[in-house]
Amino acid sequence: MKIGFVGLGNMGGPMAGNLLASGHELKLFDLVDAAIAAVDDQAAVASAADAARDVDVFVSMLPAGKHVRALYLDEGGVLDVVAQQTLLIDCSTIDPQSAKDVAAAAAHRGIEMLDAPVSGGTAGAQAGTLTFIVGGSEAALERARPLLEVMGANIFHAGVNGAGQTAKVCNNMLLAIHMAGTAEALALGVASGLDPGVLSEIMKQSSGGNWSLNVYNPYPGVMDGVPASRGYQGGFLVDLMAKDLGLALQTARESGSSVPLGALSESLFSLHKNSNEAGHLDFSSIQWLYQPDLKP
Ligand code: NAD
């Protein structure tokens, strides 16, 4: 297939690289030349509009909703130049309303679009094992499936346009809540004289067991191979979790939902980010907020 790909950062770069390696013909664009060069200089084009012309599929992987809106909706943007039969796939994590608005504008011109945010991080992007959470029509998803299977290992159809973003927002809000809760319980136990490893084993086998505790333990030294055991380097950054919690609160406002635990988590992670300069650490470093004595 001929594929246009815009946004070649930490995620988009390796995703585009996997598409190239599987034999597809790509047209690449990023605002940063070095990001294109890191994938393949030969495939570079001069603008996002150039990447969108004369392709079967157009993929974007940008930081936030405002970038996605501008890319597709601005005058001379993607929707103004793309052919009607081109399938549009936005893999960025953005607010569901922006995803719905852009897809509606595309549909108005007879163009199919999917929101397909991912989980799995940069390691998953490199290994081609991402999880795609897709919003849009079944037919559009079937058109996209062969490409998504090159970049990912799991593909979920969440529902109509915007549903992929909504599902991703719900998941990451819950992730923040159980990570903060896990760190809080471990801090309580340690402050009261328990060993964090012993307490973790007890809770794992009891009703407190959850993903953050069981496979991503936030307490340094309890579990091998997790960010807590390497100074919280790598993993899923506090900056990205803070962004996703902002999206959760925005989504709650727009749907008239109450998310008291989500709101509290957003405050906890932003307090942690600011007071511990933790934006570039893994999100399990929230343990430091409860136990500043753990900081180096
Ligand atoms: P990044 O900042 O590394 O990459 C974004 C890229 O987009 C940059 O290279 C930037 O130059 C480019 N860009 C921005 N505006 C552009 C424009 N108008 N035209 C062309 N290029 C433009 O970000 P990332 O880590 O690759 O994340 C991308 C998206 O994936 C975000 O929405 C993020 O929330 C989501 N995400 C990231 C991770 C992760 O672990 N990094 C995991 C899951 C989801």
Ligand 1 centre distance from Cα of residue 64 (Å): 8
Q: Which CATH superfamily is domain 2-159 in?
A: NAD(P)-binding Rossmann-like Domain (3.40.50.720)
What residue ranges do the domains of the chain occupy?
A: 2-159, 166-294
User: Quick check: 294 and 288 in contact, CB under 8 A?
Assistant: yes
Global pTM? 0.95
CA distance 161 to 156: 13
CA of 220 to the centre of ligand 1 (A): 29
pLDDT for 237: 94
pLDDT by residue, tens only, the chain of 296 residues: 999 999 999 999 999 999 999 999 999 999 999 999 999 999 999 999 999 999 999 999 999 999 999 999 999 999 999 999 999 999 999 999 999 999 999 999 999 999 999 999 888 999 999 999 999 999 999 999 999 999 999 999 999 999 999 999 999 999 999 999 999 999 999 999 999 999 999 999 999 999 999 999 999 999 999 999 999 998 899 999 999 999 999 999 999 999 999 999 999 999 999 999 999 999 999 999 999 999 99
Contact 78, 71 (CB under 8 A): yes
31 lines ligand 1 (CB under 6 A): yes
Give the residue among 285, 118, 123, 129 at the shortest CA–CA distance from 216.
285
* Closest atom of ligand 1 to CA, residue 29: 20
Ligand 1: atom nearest CA of 236 is 40
For domain 166-294, the CATH architecture is: Orthogonal Bundle (1.10)
Ligand 1 atom nearest to CA at 92: 32
- Active-site pick, 168, 204, 273, 295: 168
CB of residue 55 inside a 6 A radius of ligand 1 = no
DSSP assignment of 244-276: HHHHHHHHHHHHT---HHHHHHHHHHHHHHHHT
For strands 57-60 and 25-29, give the pairing. unpaired
Residues 6+ apart with CB under 8 A from 288: 272, 276, 278, 294, 295
The yes-or-no answer on residue 27 being catalytic is no
